Amino acid sequence: MSLLELTEVTRSVRLPDERMLHILQGVTLTVGAGEHVAVVGRSGTGKSTLLNILGLLDAPTTGEYLLEGVPIARLSNRARTRRRGRDFGFVFQQFNLLPGRTALENVTAPLLYAGGRQFWSRRRLAAEMLTRVGLGDRLDTMPEKLSGGEQQRVAIARALVRGPRVILADEPTGALDVETGGEVMDLLDEIASQTGAALVTITHDLAVAARAERQYRLADGVLVPIRLDRDSDWVGDVPTLVADRSAMTERRLPTGTGLGADLGADQGADLGADLDQDLDQDGARA
Amino acid sequence: MTGVVGALVEAWDELRIHKLRVLLALVGVACAVAAITGVTAAVSMLKQAFQEQTDRGMGRQVTLMVNVYPTGPDSTMTTDMDAVFAQVLDRYSIEYASRQEWTQVPARFPDGTRSLQVTAVDQDYAVINRTVPVQGRWFSDEDVEAFSPTLVVNEAFLTSLGLVDLSTHPTVLLGGEAPVRATVVGVLKNDWPQAEPMAFVLYDQLHRWIGIDGNAGPPGQVTSIASGSAMAMQSFPSMQVWVPTGAASELSDAIQHDVAATVPGWGVDVSPNGDGSDPIGRATKWVGIGVGGFALLLGGLGLVNIALVTVRYRIREIGIRRSFGATSGRVFFGVMLESVVATVVAGLVGVVIAVAIIKNIPIERVFGSQIDDMPPFPVSAALVGMACATAVGALAGIIPATVAVRVKVIDAIRY
């Protein structure tokens, strides 16, 4: 049984002019325990909406979402909220640390909503988690005194402190330079694999996406499996793209794109645009 | 359990982090609670001061004044009124009573003999009328059997003797043909600035040593209202009795009936000095509640205003907390609790301020007289103030809490 299972999920919203905007269309996705899945796509393609649905912050318009085999639609709001706090850890692009609170207090915050031992031992657990992400000596430091990478480490510690089953990372390296982003992803991968938590990363950075065991591309609300091979088949410093919409047409990114190993956010966005164009052409041909 | 503790911890953290905001919001509430508590305490003190003033003039609540008076020009008193009064006190188990008689007695002052107003009373008079000497003492048991009368005089009397205190154990000759030397044992404050010299003497001693006309005579025997020169000096038997408020009316009727039965041909009037009601206290209490309530309303409005602004400022934080698993109920409760915790703290500060003010108030200057029985600090007022502050905090918290709950999580995180 999969940990998360989306079947033909759609998400639509009504615009002020009464037109319907279809953000997600027939999304089917399964995530197993301990798996690392990445979703790439351009801005505005519905990546965050997908993540919000996975994290129970939003609900599908149609389709089914099973969490450990339990249809989410059958859960009450309260039960959904409780499962969100217990089973999911969120890592945001802008870190979203609570202002005015130290690193330790930020990591303690989710434990205020836990029960029993986790609640009463919250400071110790938070301190241990911060030590684990390498910030054991910065417990009482305010977020604004920390570097971007350190702030994201605090955010990761906060996401993991309740021992979630799934870590949902929305552009976790989006606000970091490439080197720091790489370090943060190393940490995220390492801790996720140590804790056995599934990791769903949303990014437009292909280098980040390539770290995942499975990759998907989201374009115009449609989720398509792709394959970014990080180690074996790079063109220059760019990972090989294997996209499959219907016939799994395999293509290699054009050489000489000028993309280096330091795939920053903007470069990633450019690359995403290239990907979209390429895949759209594939689709047209198909 | 963890939910409640967690919400409290969260609320306290918010207050700790946003100290300045909290401080600004709570100044009004603290002032309001200080006003409610302080005004209630001040009202209580004012009431006590007023009551004590009244008690000094008319006796404590409720004092019955028993007056026996002639109903015609030939009324003759043959009854031993002291014995009648004693029977009444014994029959109704009345603890505090004082016979009273007023007379003028010649007194030898350094500047000559003057007619001195003397009030004959029993020892209990001081208890009933809250009479406390500013110097010396009131009458004691030993004074009743003393071989010379003792006096408690006013300051004007002492001044007339050319003295300022009792260190020389002053005495004065009282009476006309056979004067007796009386010792001054206590001094009372003058009733008003230009007061004439006056003295209290024990009832039995007046009759034993001085007499109601200035000459010694048997106590409790008033022979006739038409007995020549003594007439002008003569007063009629009267007695003050201090009775429980609830029994005043019943005892009044019973005493009137019993005494009247012993003195046929004489009138007996038993009148209370009040009905135990406290119209001034009630009025001032409502004034206090009105002032405090209005101040609390203003403080509460300020709190709502700042809380609303703060919630809008904290929308992203609320969204983040929702992602941690904070239920809407928890968010509502948390935001409201911040307000409640804040106002409770403000309430405590307000009570402390009120206590500090009340304990340091210059009582004599403010109330015009000292208060003998200082009323205890009104704990009930402090509790009412705290309860009001908590209620205002809860009400002021409902609006921002509702706003916080209605925030869409996804929008809040991106805010």
Tell me, what's the ipTM? 0.74
Other beta carbons less than 10 A from residue B97's beta carbon = 24
Q: Which two tokens stand for residue B181?
A: 């030397």
Alpha-carbon distance of B365 to B314, in angstroms, equals 51
Q: Residue A85 is part of which domain span?
A: 4-219
Question: Per the domain annotation, does A234 fall within a domain?
Answer: no
Question: Per the domain annotation, does A59 fall within a domain?
Answer: yes
Mean pLDDT of B322-331: 86
- Is omega for the bond preceding B62 within 30 degrees of 0, making it cis? yes
Q: Which two tokens stand for residue A265?
A: 């956010």
Residue A86 carries which DSSP code? H
CB B59 within 8 A of CB B125: no
The string over B221-239, giving b where at least 16 C-beta atoms fall within 10 Å of a residue's C-beta and e elsewhere, is ebeebeeeebeebbbbbbb
Question: Per the domain annotation, does A39 fall within a domain?
Answer: yes
Q: Which of residues 100-139 of A touch B (CB under 8 A)?
A: 100-101, 105, 109-110, 112-116, 119-120
Q: Note whether A115 contacts B13, CB cutoff 8 Å.
A: no
CA dihedral (A72, A75, A76, A78) positive or negative: negative
Q: Angle B248-262/B81-91 helices, nearest 10 degrees?
A: 150
* B284-288 long-range Cβ contacts below 8 angstroms, 24+ apart: B284/B43, B284/B46, B284/B47, B285/B40, B285/B43, B287/B39, B287/B43, B288/B36, B288/B39, B288/B40, B288/B42, B288/B43
Question: Per the domain annotation, does A278 fall within a domain?
Answer: no
Which residue among B2, B320, B328 places its CB closest to the CB of A96? Answer: B320
Q: Note whether B325 contacts A101, CB cutoff 8 Å.
A: no
Q: What is the pLDDT of residues B401-412, one digit of tens each?
A: 888 888 787 777
Residue with tokens 């990114």: A253
Q: Which of residues 383-412 of B touch A (CB under 8 A)?
A: 409-410
Residues in chain B with CB shorter than 8 Å from the CB of A115 are 2-3
Residues in chain A with CB shorter than 8 Å from the CB of B331 are none
B99 lies within 8 A of chain A by CB: no
Q: What is the pLDDT of residues A136-158, one digit of tens each?
A: 899 999 988 998 889 988 999 99
pLDDT at B132: 87
Query: Do you know the residue count of chain A?
Result: 286
Q: What is the pLDDT of residues B357-366, one digit of tens each?
A: 888 877 767 7
Strands A214-219 and B112-121: what pairing? Answer: unpaired
Alpha-carbon distance of B6 to B329, in angstroms, equals 13
A179 sits in which H/E element: helix A178-195
Residues whose CB is less than 8 angstroms from the CB of residue B59 and which lie 6 or more positions away in sequence, other chains included: B65, B128, B129, B240, B242, B273
Q: Does the pLDDT value for residue B79 go beyond 80?
A: no
Least confident of A69-78, A277-286, B70-79: A277-286
Which residue among A77, A84, A99 places its CB closest to the CB of B323? Answer: A84
Which residue among B18, B316, B330 places its CB closest to the CB of A113? Answer: B330
- Choose the most confident range, by mean pLDDT, from A194-198, B12-16, B306-310, B383-387: A194-198
| Intra-chain end-to-end CA distance of chain B, in Å | 32
A96 lies within 8 A of chain B by CB: yes
Alpha-carbon distance of A68 to A1, in angstroms, equals 7
Mind telling me how many Å the CA of B404 is from chain A's nearest CA? 16
The three-state DSSP-derived secondary structure of chain B is CHHHHHHHHHHHHHHHHCHHHHHHHHHHHHHHHHHHHHHHHHHHHHHHHHHHHHHHHHCCCCEEEEEEEECCCCCECCCCHHHHHHHHHHHCCCCEEEEEEEEEEEEEECCEEEEEEEEEECCCHHHHCCCCCCEECCCCHHHHCCCCCEEEEEHHHHHHCCCCCCCCCCEEEECCCCCEEEEEEEEECCCCCCCCCEEEEEHHHHHHHHCCCCCCCCCCCCCECCCHHHHHHCCCCEEEEECCHHHHHHHHHHHHHHHHHHCCCEEEEEEECCCCCCHHHHHHHHHHHHHHHHHHHHHHHHHHHHHHHHHHHCHHHHHHHHHCCCCHHHHHHHHHHHHHHHHHHHHHHHHHHHHHHHHCCCHHHHHCCCCCCCCCCCHHHHHHHHHHHHHHHHHHHHHHHHHHHHCCHHHHHHC
B20 lies within 8 A of chain A by CB: no
Q: Angle B315-323/B279-313 helices, nearest 10 degrees?
A: 70
Residue B150 CA to its chain's centroid (Å): 30
What is the domain-level CATH number for residue A16?
A: 3.40.50.300
Alpha-carbon distance of B311 to B305, in angstroms, equals 10
Q: Does the pLDDT value for residue B313 go beyond 60?
A: yes
Q: Which two tokens stand for residue B414?
A: 């991106």
SS3 category, A67: strand
The string over A141-160, giving b where at least 16 C-beta atoms fall within 10 Å of a residue's C-beta and e elsewhere, is bebeebebbbbbbbbbbbbb
Q: Note whether B321 contacts A78, CB cutoff 8 Å.
A: no
**Nearest chain B residue to A158, by CA:** B324
Residues in chain A with CB shorter than 8 Å from the CB of B9 are 112
pLDDT at A233: 45
Amino acid at A166: V
Question: Per the domain annotation, does A194 fall within a domain?
Answer: yes
Query: Do you know the residue count of chain B?
Result: 415
pLDDT at B35: 79
pLDDT at B153: 95
Q: Does the pLDDT value for residue B234 go beyond 80?
A: no
Q: How would residue B99 be classed by pLDDT, with cut points 50, 70 and 90?
A: very high
Other beta carbons less than 10 A from residue A29's beta carbon = 22
Average pLDDT over chain A, rounded to an integer: 80
Domain count, chain A: 1
CB B130 within 8 A of CB B372: yes
pLDDT at B280: 64
Chosen from B4, B318, B323 to mutate, greatest number of chain A CBs within 10 A:
B323
Mean pLDDT of A228-237: 51
Question: Per the domain annotation, does A255 fall within a domain?
Answer: no
Other beta carbons less than 10 A from residue A212's beta carbon = 22
CA distances from B305 to A255, B21, B41, B339, B412 (A): 61, 11, 30, 12, 21
Q: Note whether A57 contacts B9, CB cutoff 8 Å.
A: no
Q: Which two tokens stand for residue A216?
A: 């998907």
Q: Note whether B410 contacts A101, CB cutoff 8 Å.
A: no
Amino acid at B156: A
Which residue among B9, B329, B409 places its CB closest to the CB of A112? Answer: B9
Residue with tokens 């008689």: B101
Question: Per the domain annotation, does A273 fall within a domain?
Answer: no
B321 lies within 8 A of chain A by CB: yes
Alpha-carbon distance of B401 to B318, in angstroms, equals 11
A119 sits in which H/E element: helix A116-120
Which residue among A85, A99, A101 places its CB closest to the CB of B324? Answer: A85
A13 sits in which H/E element: strand A4-14
Amino acid at A79: A
B316 lies within 8 A of chain A by CB: yes
Alpha-carbon distance of A101 to B248, in angstroms, equals 67
Q: How would residue A284 be classed by pLDDT, with cut points 50, 70 and 90?
A: very low
Burial of A266 (0-12, 13-18, 19+ CB in 10 A): exposed
Residues in chain A with CB shorter than 8 Å from the CB of B316 are 96
Residues in chain B with CB shorter than 8 Å from the CB of A140 are none
Which residue among A110, A115, A119 places its CB closest to the CB of B324? Answer: A110
Strands A214-219 and A36-40: what pairing? Answer: parallel
Q: Which of residues 110-169 of B touch A (CB under 8 A)?
A: none
Q: Rounded to the nearest 10 degrees, how much is the dihedral formed by the CA atoms of A123, A124, A125, A127? A: 80
Mean pLDDT of B255-284: 80
Strands B150-154 and B180-188: what pairing? Answer: parallel
Q: Angle B19-58/B2-17 helices, nearest 10 degrees?
A: 100
Q: Does the pLDDT value for residue B216 go beyond 60?
A: no
Q: Note whether B323 contacts A90, CB cutoff 8 Å.
A: yes
Mind telling me how many Å the CA of B3 is from chain A's nearest CA? 7
The three-state DSSP-derived secondary structure of A255-270 is CCCCCCCCCCHHHHHH
Question: Per the domain annotation, does A202 fall within a domain?
Answer: yes
Which residue among B17, B316, B327 places its CB closest to the CB of A101? Answer: B17
Compute and round to an integer the Cα radius of gyration of chain B. 33
Residues in chain B with CB shorter than 8 Å from the CB of A112 are 6, 9-10, 324
Strands B171-174 and B180-188: what pairing? Answer: antiparallel
Q: How would residue B232 be classed by pLDDT, with cut points 50, 70 and 90?
A: very low
Which residue among A78, A86, A115 places its CB closest to the CB of B2? Answer: A115
CA dihedral (B327, B328, B333, B336) positive or negative: positive
Q: What is the pLDDT of residues A97-108, one digit of tens each?
A: 988 889 999 999
B5 lies within 8 A of chain A by CB: yes
Q: Does the pLDDT value for residue A251 go beyond 60?
A: no
Alpha-carbon distance of A276 to B396, in angstroms, equals 52
Q: Note whether A116 contacts B413, CB cutoff 8 Å.
A: no
Which residue among A81, A98, A116 places its CB closest to the CB of B325? Answer: A81
Alpha-carbon distance of A15 to B275, in angstroms, equals 76
